[in-house]
């Protein structure tokens, strides 16, 4: 018993001082009063202690533990006027006198439908591994093993056991570590509910609904323990991805166009203007040092936003018991000048008030938005995105519920949707950054936007980490925007007679078509060039894009392309590796009518998916997630036709119909004839969909994700040419009404990535995992 006597003496000393102070006060010698200091000899077992302002009233004691450990029950205490550090209580409410360093633990996987896992503990130590197995007939996606890291997060991704034959509409959305999920099937309209084990908070959507488009509503849930935080590198990557998707770099012509009536119909023009509302917690619940760091972090964020090519206007509110405007968005001279915004930020000082009134701060935002809306004729209100960034240590303890103001804001912006999914709210994003271990995670989570595939709420250890996050957000100015096109084909739109704006990457030449992948390169099929020698190609082939014509400068056919490869086995034509890249004689000037489509496994495609660092495999999983994926091709040089790509368990039923074109006798197998470099479309047992015609070859097989377009295949060959009028047997059929056995085959771009990268790497930045 060494500790107790020391404490006892300290206690005696302070009691005596309190007594002295009071007696002096009674005699009216207030000016001479020496304020009582808190002790600066505190300790924590296994760690160390630091003090701000030498233990004077208002100073803060911080406990520090090594990596993989955290102070318990609190990480800091404040010095009160009576010279006492704030008390420490266990979650049970019992007061304790000593803090200790505890080990960070990872919440374990608690539930894995159609599978099993080991070990089956609720919490696992740093360095521990948890392994996952699926039942017979189910395939594991995600990690088979995850390791518990020093930050209490797991390596890898959530394990899911999937069944290819399942009749569910949505895929199993997975269950994060520490969580459990309601049982049930995943049919359209059905709901799953998540809850976290005791003591943890759920961030993201606790309820998700399987939507018509086979995606889950809302954002992916995760469970977080009170003493663990998001890693800055992960937050920076997620935030960068989210911002990149919203503020993708606009080409100069797009900026000009965005003022014309036509430009407005493009989704992306919405991103060219942005109102940024920054709400800064300046209440006394954060320290002076923290206040400085939060100011620095905010400045870092503003500078980062400035690096995107969008027109920004800022409104900065500091909030404590009341909300005060630091920068007024209506004051255009200041709010649109980053220098002035930062100047004003430097000018604020912390206010020692104990309460935090986030409601008042959000009220300022909705007042400003209402004002801007009223004057929308002059300020492009309808085309301006609104981003709200809330930085707080999480004590909302005064004023009305902040949610009420958010509801008002949503209705001002025309979002009346009360569903817990904000994906359709293209003009509003609410990001919430909770700082420190006193945040109320559930409260912060309820304020943040819930959008599919995005995260809007983050909890960081301290304000310094927040600064690190904002500083490390990568913003890349030099990326050309790919896969942007108008969505709907309206007959009224005279400017777009042939749907040019819906397929700006599309080019035509004889006898094929192709796609623009960069301003100097066109991707097409190799068989388009089979009969021409390289020299005559240059003279004969005109490549017609929407703004003019170019001719090939160089044609690179895939070296493994050889139609005669199986001739000795009685197969007269064979189309494996049927792809070619054409370098054009002059750069295609990029515009709304002529611009590249996104190629998977490239950096521009990652940005279009709102990701920053991702792998080629992740791109495939995002673009071809289902056994049947909706896709398009361009038919007869004009309109998009929808079809479905059959993969996984659906592929054999699709590919099988290629047999009809295989002339006997031959010993060539179906697998040799249609190797896995081909994507199959047109149907499978029981279904059939639109197919292409002869002249459509070389064109793009593409799909839409987040209003952007990605090419996944090159149209190569089909079993049936329904457009051949000379064949009486096909007279009753059309592209949209093909015979049931008709199938199309397309070269799968994922399977020829190294070749694409070899020739395009100087033009397009590919992901590093392609060799």
Ligand X SMILES: *[C@@H]1O[C@H](CO)[C@@H](O)[C@H](O)[C@H]1NC(C)=O
Among 140, 404, 551, 752, interactor with ligand X by CB under 6 A: 551
Identify which range of 62-70, 664-672, 711-719, 741-749 contacts ligand X by CB under 6 A: 664-672
Q: Which residue has the tokens 């005669």?
A: 564
Residue 336 in the binding site for ligand X (CB under 6 A): no
- HEC letters along 76-94: EEEECCCCCECCEECCCCC
User: Is 639 or 662 the residue whose CB approaches ligand X more closely?
Assistant: 662
Identify which range of 22-30, 289-297, 326-334, 575-583 contacts ligand X by CB under 6 A: 326-334
**What is the distance, to the nearest Å, from the Cα of residue 75 to the centroid of all Cα atoms in its chain?**
32
Among 31, 34, 93, 165, interactor with ligand X by CB under 6 A: 34
* Contact pattern for ligand X over residues 64 through 103, marking x by CB under 6 A: ----------------------------------------
Residue 331 in the binding site for ligand X (CB under 6 A): yes
- HEC letters along 660-721: HHCCCCCCCCHHHHCCCCEEEECEECCEECCCCCHHHCCCEEEEEECCEEEEEEEEEEECCC
* DSSP of 176-213: -TTEEE------TT-EEEEEEPTT-EEES-SEEEB-TT
Pick out residues in 382-421 that bind ligand X (CB under 6 A). 382
Residue 587 in the binding site for ligand X (CB under 6 A): no
From CA 176, how far away is CA 153, in angstroms rounded?
A: 11
How many CA atoms, within 13 angstroms, populate the side-chain half-sphere of residue 52?
Answer: 17
* DSSP of 340-405: HHHHHHHT------S---HHHHHHHHHHHHHHHHHTHHHHTGGGEEEEEEEEE-S---SSS-HHHH
Identify which range of 167-175, 221-229, 510-518, 566-574 contacts ligand X by CB under 6 A: 566-574
Q: Of the listed 578, 721, 744, 748, which one is catalytic?
A: 578
| Least distance from ligand X to the Cβ atom of residue 473, Å | 8
Residue 157 in the binding site for ligand X (CB under 6 A): no
From CA 600, how far away is CA 183, in angstroms rounded?
A: 35
Residue 585 in the binding site for ligand X (CB under 6 A): yes
| Least distance from ligand X to the Cβ atom of residue 137, Å | 25
Residue 129 in the binding site for ligand X (CB under 6 A): yes
Q: Of the listed 359, 506, 527, 558, which one is catalytic?
A: 527
Residue 180 in the binding site for ligand X (CB under 6 A): no
Asked about 697 being catalytic, the answer comes back as yes
- Sequence-ordered list of residues with C-beta below 8 angstroms from that of 147, at least 6 positions apart, any chain: 127, 128, 129, 154, 155, 156
How many CA atoms, within 13 angstroms, populate the side-chain half-sphere of residue 624?
Answer: 24
Distances from the Cα of 655 to the Cαs of 368, 626, 669, in angstroms?
Answer: 59, 17, 12
| Least distance from ligand X to the Cβ atom of residue 678, Å | 20
Identify which range of 325-333, 442-450, 506-514, 603-611 contacts ligand X by CB under 6 A: 325-333
Identify which range of 144-152, 632-640, 693-701, 703-711 contacts ligand X by CB under 6 A: 144-152
From CA 359, how far away is CA 363, in angstroms rounded?
A: 6
| Least distance from ligand X to the Cβ atom of residue 518, Å | 17
From CA 736, how far away is CA 696, in angstroms rounded?
A: 14
The token pair at 393 is 């240590």
Among 50, 89, 586, 754, interactor with ligand X by CB under 6 A: 586
From CA 354, how far away is CA 338, in angstroms rounded?
A: 31
| Least distance from ligand X to the Cβ atom of residue 382, Å | 4
| Least distance from ligand X to the Cβ atom of residue 450, Å | 23
Identify which range of 142-150, 517-525, 530-538, 684-692 contacts ligand X by CB under 6 A: 142-150
User: Is 129 or 182 the residue whose CB approaches ligand X more closely?
Assistant: 129
Site size toward ligand X (CB under 6 A) is 37
| Least distance from ligand X to the Cβ atom of residue 428, Å | 15
Pick out residues in 183-242 that bind ligand X (CB under 6 A). 233, 236-237
Among 400, 666, 685, 724, interactor with ligand X by CB under 6 A: 666
Asked about 721 being catalytic, the answer comes back as no
- Nearest residue (beta carbon) to ligand X: 54
The token pair at 688 is 């059939």
User: Is 663 or 734 the residue whose CB approaches ligand X more closely?
Assistant: 663
Residue 156 in the binding site for ligand X (CB under 6 A): yes
Residue 539 in the binding site for ligand X (CB under 6 A): no
User: Is 188 or 375 the residue whose CB approaches ligand X more closely?
Assistant: 375
Q: Which residues of 529-550 are buried (b: 16+ CB within 10 A; e: fewer)?
A: beeeeeeebeeebebebbeeeb
Please provide the distance, in angstroms rounded to a whole number, between the alpha carbons at the two ends of the chain: 64
Identify which range of 21-29, 138-146, 347-355, 527-535 contacts ligand X by CB under 6 A: 138-146
Q: Which residue has the tokens 């943890």?
A: 200
| Least distance from ligand X to the Cβ atom of residue 277, Å | 13
The token pair at 726 is 């000379």
* Contact pattern for ligand X over residues 594 through 633, marking x by CB under 6 A: ------------------xx--------------------
Q: Which residues pair with 307 in a beta bridge?
A: none
DSSP letter assigned to residue 765: P
Q: E-strand spans in 6-165?
A: 44-45, 47-51, 60-65, 69-72, 76-78, 88-89, 95-96, 99-103, 105-107, 115-118, 123-125, 129-134, 139-141, 145-147, 160-162
User: Is 328 or 562 the residue whose CB approaches ligand X more closely?
Assistant: 328
Among 328, 493, 519, 591, interactor with ligand X by CB under 6 A: 328
From CA 741, how far away is CA 405, in angstroms rounded?
A: 58
The token pair at 138 is 């189910």
Q: Which residues of 390-415 are buried (b: 16+ CB within 10 A; e: fewer)?
A: bbbbbbbebbeebeebbebbbebbeb
From CA 576, how far away is CA 589, in angstroms rounded?
A: 33
User: Is 581 or 679 the residue whose CB approaches ligand X more closely?
Assistant: 581
* DSSP of 56-68: -TT-EEEEEE-TT
Q: Report helix, strand or coil for 736.
A: coil
User: Is 612 or 747 the residue whose CB approaches ligand X more closely?
Assistant: 612
* 8 Å CB contact between 131 and 85: no
Among 559, 665, 686, 728, interactor with ligand X by CB under 6 A: 665
- Greatest alpha-carbon pair distance for the chain in Å reads 117
Among 80, 147, 337, 661, interactor with ligand X by CB under 6 A: 147
| Least distance from ligand X to the Cβ atom of residue 712, Å | 24
| Least distance from ligand X to the Cβ atom of residue 401, Å | 22
Element (H, E) at 332: helix 332-335
Identify which range of 324-332, 350-358, 632-640, 752-760 contacts ligand X by CB under 6 A: 324-332
Q: Of the listed 205, 546, 681, 697, which one is catalytic?
A: 697
Among 569, 694, 734, 758, interactor with ligand X by CB under 6 A: 569
| Least distance from ligand X to the Cβ atom of residue 666, Å | 5
User: Is 436 or 467 the residue whose CB approaches ligand X more closely?
Assistant: 467
Pick out residues in 354-383 that bind ligand X (CB under 6 A). 367, 371, 376-377, 382
Among 39, 86, 265, 330, interactor with ligand X by CB under 6 A: 330
- CB 385: neighbour CB atoms within 10 A? 18
Asked about 676 being catalytic, the answer comes back as no
| Least distance from ligand X to the Cβ atom of residue 737, Å | 35
* 8 Å CB contact between 755 and 771: no
| Least distance from ligand X to the Cβ atom of residue 94, Å | 31
Task: Give catalytic residues, as residue numbers.
Answer: 527, 578, 697
- In the complex, which residues of this chain contact ligand X (CB under 6 A)? 34, 37, 54, 56, 129, 143, 145-147, 155-156, 233, 236-237, 325, 328, 330-331, 367, 371, 376-377, 382, 549-551, 568-570, 585-586, 612-613, 665-667, 768
């Amino acid at each position: 018993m060494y500790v107790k006597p020391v404490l006892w003496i300290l206690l005696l000393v302070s009691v005596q001082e309190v007594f002295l102070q009071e007696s002096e006060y009674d005699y009216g010698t207030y000016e001479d009063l020496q304020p009582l200091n808190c002790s600066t000899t505190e300790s924590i077992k296994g760690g160390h202690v630091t003090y701000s302002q030498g233990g004077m009233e208002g100073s803060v004691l911080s406990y520090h533990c090594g990596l993989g450990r955290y102070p318990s029950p609190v990480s800091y205490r404040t010095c009160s006027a009576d010279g006492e550090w704030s008390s420490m209580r266990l979650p049970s409410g019992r007061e304790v006198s000593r803090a200790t360093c505890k080990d960070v633990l990872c919440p374990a996987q608690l539930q894995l439908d159609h599978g099993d896992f080991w070990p089956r503990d609720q919490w696992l130590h740093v360095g521990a591994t948890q392994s996952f197995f699926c039942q017979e007939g189910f395939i594991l996606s995600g990690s088979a093993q995850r390791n518990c890291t020093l930050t209490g997060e797991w390596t890898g991704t959530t394990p899911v056991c999937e069944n290819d034959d399942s009749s569910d509409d949505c895929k199993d959305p997975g269950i994060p570590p520490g969580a459990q999920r309601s049982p049930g099937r995943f049919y359209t309209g059905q709901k799953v509910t998540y809850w976290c084990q005791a003591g943890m908070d759920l961030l993201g959507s606790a309820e998700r609904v399987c939507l018509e488009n086979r995606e889950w509503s809302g954002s992916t849930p995760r469970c977080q323990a009170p003493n663990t935080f998001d890693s800055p590198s992960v937050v920076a990557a997620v935030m960068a991805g989210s911002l990149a998707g919203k503020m993708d770099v606009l080409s100069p012509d797009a900026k000009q166009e965005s003022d014309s009536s036509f430009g407005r119909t493009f989704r992306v023009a919405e991103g060219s203007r942005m109102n940024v509302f920054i709400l800064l917690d300046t209440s006394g619940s954060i320290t002076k040092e923290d206040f400085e760091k939060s100011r620095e972090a905010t400045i870092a964020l503003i500078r980062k936003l400035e690096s995107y090519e969008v027109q920004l206007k800022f409104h900065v509110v500091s909030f404590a018991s009341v909300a005060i405007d630091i920068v007024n968005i209506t004051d255009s001279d200041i709010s649109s000048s980053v220098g002035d915004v930062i100047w004003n930020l430097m000018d604020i000082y912390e206010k020692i008030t104990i309460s935090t009134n986030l409601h008042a701060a959000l009220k300022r935002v909705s007042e400003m938005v209402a004002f801007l809306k009223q004057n929308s004729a002059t300020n492009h209100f309808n085309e301006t995105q609104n981003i709200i960034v809330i930085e707080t240590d999480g004590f909302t303890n005064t004023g009305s519920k902040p949610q009420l103001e958010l509801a008002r804001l949503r209705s001002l912006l025309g979002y009346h949707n009360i569903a817990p999914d904000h994906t359709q709210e293209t003009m509003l994003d609410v990001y919430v950054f909770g700082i420190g271990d006193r945040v109320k995670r559930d409260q912060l989570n309820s304020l943040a936007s819930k959008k599919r595939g995005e995260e809007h709420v983050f909890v960081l250890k301290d304000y310094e980490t927040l600064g690190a996050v904002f500083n490390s957000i990568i913003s890349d100015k030099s990326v050309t925007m790919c896969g942007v096109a108008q969505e709907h084909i309206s007959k009224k739109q005279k400017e777009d007679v042939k749907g040019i704006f819906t397929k700006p990457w599309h080019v035509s030449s004889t006898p094929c078509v192709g796609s623009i992948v960069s301003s100097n390169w066109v991707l097409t099929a190799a068989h388009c060039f089979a009969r021409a020698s390289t020299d005559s190609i240059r003279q004969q082939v005109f490549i017609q894009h929407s703004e003019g014509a170019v001719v090939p400068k160089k044609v690179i056919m895939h070296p493994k392309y050889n139609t005669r490869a199986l001739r000795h086995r009685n197969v007269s034509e064979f189309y494996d590796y049927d792809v070619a890249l054409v370098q054009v004689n002059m750069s295609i000037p990029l515009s709304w009518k002529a611009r590249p489509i996104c190629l998977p496994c490239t950096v521009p495609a990652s940005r279009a998916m709102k990701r920053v660092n991702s792998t080629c495999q992740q791109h495939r999983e995002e673009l071809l997630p289902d056994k049947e994926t909706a896709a398009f091709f361009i038919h007869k040089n004009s309109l998009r036709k929808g079809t479905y790509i059959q993969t996984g368990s659906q592929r054999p039923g699709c590919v099988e119909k290629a047999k009809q074109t295989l002339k006997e006798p031959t010993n060539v197998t179906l697998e040799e004839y249609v190797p896995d470099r081909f994507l199959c479309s047109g149907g499978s047992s029981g279904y059939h969909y639109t197919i292409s015609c002869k002249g459509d070859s070389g064109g793009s097989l593409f799909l839409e994700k987040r209003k952007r377009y990605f090419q996944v295949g090159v149209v190569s060959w089909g079993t049936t040419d329904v457009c051949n009028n000379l064949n009486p047997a096909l007279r009753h059929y059309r592209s949209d009404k093909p015979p049931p056995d008709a199938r199309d085959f397309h070269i799968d771009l994922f399977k020829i990535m190294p070749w694409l990268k070899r020739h395009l790497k100087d033009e397009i930045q590919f992901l590093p995992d392609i060799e």
